[in-house]
């Protein structure tokens, strides 16, 4: 049936990332030997990246429903209700492998891809976030990777005119050869005008818009589904090249056309390009599709069907138009100077048929591509959680103040301003909380509502105990949103793990899903979208399990929003939540001993919810002037960050009697907040906390321009700021 018919050898099958057993299934689904184009199509559709074949059985365990959920997992992005006919569309996605191979383009196209997922659904992107994990600072590639990734993210988002309002960055030697670049995008849409990818209706035109197709990114999805080895750098040509200007035009053109009654279905061409977009649209619509590749706008001559079907050229969309809508669509895309071509139509055959020249290059039942993909319940071994260690087993510092300086100046906790100053975080003029606080917040344009968002996970906790670590990631995200006064709504998750074919890695994955599911249930914080990135390992060494959580929350009125900055001289700082001085897996332990040992801090989900709800009510009634959650580095770091943000010092009270002082100041017990309140409100708030069964105690008083610990010399904020802001620019400026 094809003109040239290269032999489908076992070697060629392996090169396409398919096992012998998978190839047998393929032949059974097709009823014959595939053509080369067909083999390529199956290989990307059945790749881990597109089929979730190792993870799907476990992902079903995550809670995905709630009254606020309009669209759960399965579409381009999740959608939650914001009231007043408005909805938020959001998703996080990894671009790990490409970013390690080519950091600038890898990160840039990751940002471009996630924004397309959001505006494909009819939403205007209003904010971006990102979660980045790099190797140790002293690793030869780290500086180069940080510089490339940050500038790639910045250049793409900045040109699009979408603010990047926060994120998180870790440095850890376990990511030396496998960095993680997870990009999140949040958009706003009219709840009655949400677009999906289901191409319902036969005989409708399939339209291609956006950039031309080139030979870039062929087999990106297969690359993202394999381990790295020494030869991986040779895969650079499989990394796509981004063009944010074209994407900006595509965004405006799509949103303009969406104002008219023209589109039946729309799907961006992301991983596996034309193949996955056409298969997904036809399959979800319950129709077949025929593509005429002679009509595809190409950037290069002589492209084969195989190359066109597998290209991952960026900034492209596929649409199915309503009958008669063609002229309107053509006019909009011409205005924005974008390619527009009718490349196929929907059929009633239930098959994907690909024509090129006068030959049929592929003819595959869609059910085989979309549903017959193998699903694995891979063997997994649980890992026993480590034993807790006692606070007194971690040595005390000579000086608490000096220890604070060491923690605040360390790569783990130093200021990230060098990063976020390269991101336009104010464009769209709705950013009401900039990077550096507990969560980024943008105003819902034209209203008093605020959309808070945060990305969280603590990899060292997950490495010790994936279940507790994943619980903690969800809880911390919920806490960060709560600390602004938001009602947390839902999350998107980016599950970054090693090779699932190894039972211990699969065991981590299973544990993380279970921990995440438990926390999401307890906090009514469902998962509405997400992404799984496996095979993050090099030469058999995996990354720590890294289930990154991106959450969003709604602030009903931004006049009642909390920030971390201390504002009023004389305000009293109250710690809310239970403290035990948990130093296992803490930053203090790492800096004091050079090791990560013991169990991570446990999360009491009932207490988490109770404390968070209490803090939110304090914010809403206007009883607090500043709030910050207690996380990495513990209580003293929390207070120091509040002081730096507000330019106002704190005189600290002694640690409670009977507890190990350095464990109280640096312990990372979960479910805690520090709130600043006016002196006359202290008694009332302590009383209310006691009635709600929430431990609360006084921590100190906002005053002056230094941090003062009992019995120690004051540390001026100027000196602390210098320590906090120095490391990253110096590191990046070095050679």
Nearest distance, CB of residue 154 and another protein, angstroms: 5
Task: Tell me which of 16, 49, 219, 662 is the catalytic residue.
Answer: 49
Nearest distance, CB of residue 227 and another protein, angstroms: 34
DSSP letter string, 546-569: EEEEEEEEEES-GGG---SS--ST
Closer to another protein by Cβ: residue 34 or 646: 646
d(CA 612, CA 449): 20
Nearest distance, CB of residue 183 and another protein, angstroms: 17
Q: Could you tell me where the DSSP H helices lie in 586-716?
A: 587-593, 605-620, 635-646, 661-666, 682-691
CB distance 582 to 597 below 8 Å = no
How many Å separate Cα 629 from the centre of its chain?
Answer: 21
d(CA 227, CA 499): 7
Nearest distance, CB of residue 153 and another protein, angstroms: 10
Closer to another protein by Cβ: residue 263 or 441: 441
For residue 49, indicate whether it is catalytic: yes
Q: Which residues bind another protein (CB under 8 A)?
A: 151, 154-155, 158-161, 243-246, 248-249, 335-337, 420-432, 434, 443, 558
How many Å separate Cα 511 from the centre of its chain?
Answer: 19
Closer to another protein by Cβ: residue 428 or 663: 428
Nearest distance, CB of residue 118 and another protein, angstroms: 16
d(CA 431, CA 442): 4
CB distance 285 to 349 below 8 Å = no
The DSSP symbol for 228 reads B
Q: What are phi and psi of 483, to 5 degrees?
A: -65, -15
Nearest distance, CB of residue 249 and another protein, angstroms: 6
Token pair recorded at residue 697: 């105690």
d(CA 633, CA 49): 35
CB distance 150 to 106 below 8 Å = no
Using the Cα atoms of residue 671, residue 672, residue 678 and residue 684 in order, give the sign of their dihedral: positive
Smallest CA-to-CA distance from 345 within 305, 289, 264, 277 is with: 289
d(CA 224, CA 242): 18
CB distance 608 to 479 below 8 Å = yes
Nearest distance, CB of residue 677 and another protein, angstroms: 23
d(CA 44, CA 277): 12
Smallest CA-to-CA distance from 354 within 286, 299, 273 is with: 273
Closer to another protein by Cβ: residue 337 or 691: 337
CB distance 39 to 16 below 8 Å = yes
Task: Tell me which of 16, 95, 205, 219 is the catalytic residue.
Answer: 95
Nearest distance, CB of residue 570 and another protein, angstroms: 24
Q: What are phi and psi of 375, to 5 degrees?
A: -125, 135
CB distance 98 to 220 below 8 Å = yes
d(CA 123, CA 145): 31
Smallest CA-to-CA distance from 474 within 612, 596, 640, 598 is with: 612
Closer to another protein by Cβ: residue 350 or 729: 729
Separation in Å, CA 167 to CA 313, 383, 455: 27, 30, 6
Smallest CA-to-CA distance from 443 within 562, 558, 563 is with: 558
For residue 412, indicate whether it is catalytic: no
Nearest distance, CB of residue 716 and another protein, angstroms: 18
Nearest distance, CB of residue 194 and another protein, angstroms: 22
Active site residues: 49, 95
């Amino acid at each position: 049936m094809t003109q040239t018919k290269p032999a489908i050898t076992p070697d060629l099958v392996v090169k396409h990332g398919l096992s012998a057993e998978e190839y047998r299934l393929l032949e059974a689904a097709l009823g014959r030997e595939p053509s080369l184009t067909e083999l390529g199509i199956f290989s990307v559709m059945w790749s881990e990246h597109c089929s979730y074949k190792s993870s799907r059985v476990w992902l079903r365990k995550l809670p995905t429903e709630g009254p606020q959920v309009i669209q759960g997992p399965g579409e381009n992005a999740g959608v939650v209700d914001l009231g007043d006919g408005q909805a938020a569309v959001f998703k996080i996605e990894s671009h790990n492998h490409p970013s390690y191979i080519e950091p600038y383009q890898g990160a840039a196209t990751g940002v471009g891809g996630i924004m397309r997922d959001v505006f494909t659904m009819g939403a205007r992107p209003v904010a971006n976030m990102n979660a980045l994990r790099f190797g140790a600072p002293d690793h030869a590639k780290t500086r180069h990777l940080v510089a490339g990734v940050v500038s790639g993210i910045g250049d793409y988002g900045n040109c699009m005119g979408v603010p990047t309002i926060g994120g998180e960055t870790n440095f850890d030697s376990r990511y030396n050869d496998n960095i993680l670049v997870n990009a999140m995008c949040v958009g706003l849409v009219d709840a009655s005008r949400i677009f999906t990818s289901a191409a319902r209706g036969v005989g409708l035109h399939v339209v291609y818009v956006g950039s031309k197709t080139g030979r870039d990114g062929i087999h990106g999805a297969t690359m993202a589904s394999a381990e790295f080895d020494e030869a991986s750098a040779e895969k650079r040509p499989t990394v796509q090249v981004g063009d944010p200007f074209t994407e900006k035009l595509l965004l405006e053109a799509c949103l303009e056309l969406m104002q008219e009654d023209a589109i039946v279905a729309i799907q961006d061409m992301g991983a596996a390009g034309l193949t996955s977009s056409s298969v997904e649209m036809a399959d979800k619509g319950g129709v077949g599709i025929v593509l005429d590749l002679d009509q595809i706008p190409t950037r290069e001559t002589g492209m084969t069907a195989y190359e066109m079907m597998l290209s991952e050229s960026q900034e492209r969309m596929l649409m199915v138009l309503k009958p008669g809508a063609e002229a309107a669509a053509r006019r909009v895309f011409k205005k924005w100077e974008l390619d527009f071509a009718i490349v196929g139509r929907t059929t009633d055959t239930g098959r994907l048929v690909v024509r090129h020249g006068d030959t049929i290059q592929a003819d595959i039942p869609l059910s085989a591509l979309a549903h017959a993909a193998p699903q694995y319940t891979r063997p997994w071994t649980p890992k026993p959680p480590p034993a807790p260690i006692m606070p007194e087993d971690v040595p005390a510092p000579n000086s608490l103040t000096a220890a604070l300086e060491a923690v605040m100046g360390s790569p783990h906790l130093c200021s990230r301003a060098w990063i976020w100053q390269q991101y336009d975080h104010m464009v769209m003029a709705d950013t009401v909380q900039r990077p550096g606080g507990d969560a980024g917040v943008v105003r819902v344009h034209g209203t008093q509502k605020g959309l808070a968002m945060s990305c969280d996970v603590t990899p060292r906790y997950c490495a010790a105990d994936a279940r507790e670590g994943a619980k903690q990631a969800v809880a911390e995200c919920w806490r960060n949103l709560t600390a602004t006064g938001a009602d947390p709504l839902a999350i998107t998750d980016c599950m970054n793990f090693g090779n699932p074919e190894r039972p211990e890695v699969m065991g981590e994955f299973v544990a993380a899903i279970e921990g995440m599911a438990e926390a999401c249930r307890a906090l009514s914080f469902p998962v509405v979208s997400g992404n799984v990135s496996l095979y993050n390992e090099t030469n058999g060494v995996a990354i720590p399990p890294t289930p990154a959580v991106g959450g969003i929350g709604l602030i009903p009125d931004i006049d009642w929003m909390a920030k971390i900055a201390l504002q009023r001289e004389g305000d009293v700082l109250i710690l809310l939540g239970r403290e035990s001085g948990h130093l296992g897996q803490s930053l203090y332990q790492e800096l004091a001993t050079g090791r990560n040992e013991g169990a991570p801090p446990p999360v009491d989900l009932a207490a988490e919810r109770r404390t968070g709800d209490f803090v939110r009510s304090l914010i809403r009634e206007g009883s607090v002037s500043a709030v910050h959650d207690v996380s990495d580095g513990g209580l003293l770091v929390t207070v120091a960050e509040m002081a730096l943000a507000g330019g106002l010092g704190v005189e600290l009270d002694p640690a409670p009697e009977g507890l190990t002082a350095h464990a109280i100041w640096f312990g990372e017990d979960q479910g805690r907040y520090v709130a600043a309140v006016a002196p006359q409100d202290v008694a009332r708030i302590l009383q209310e906390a006691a009635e709600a069964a929430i431990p609360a105690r006084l921590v100190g008083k906002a005053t002056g321009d230094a941090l003062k610990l009992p019995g120690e010399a004051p540390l001026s904020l100027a000196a602390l700021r210098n320590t906090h802001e120095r490391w990253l620019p110096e590191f990046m400026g070095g050679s």
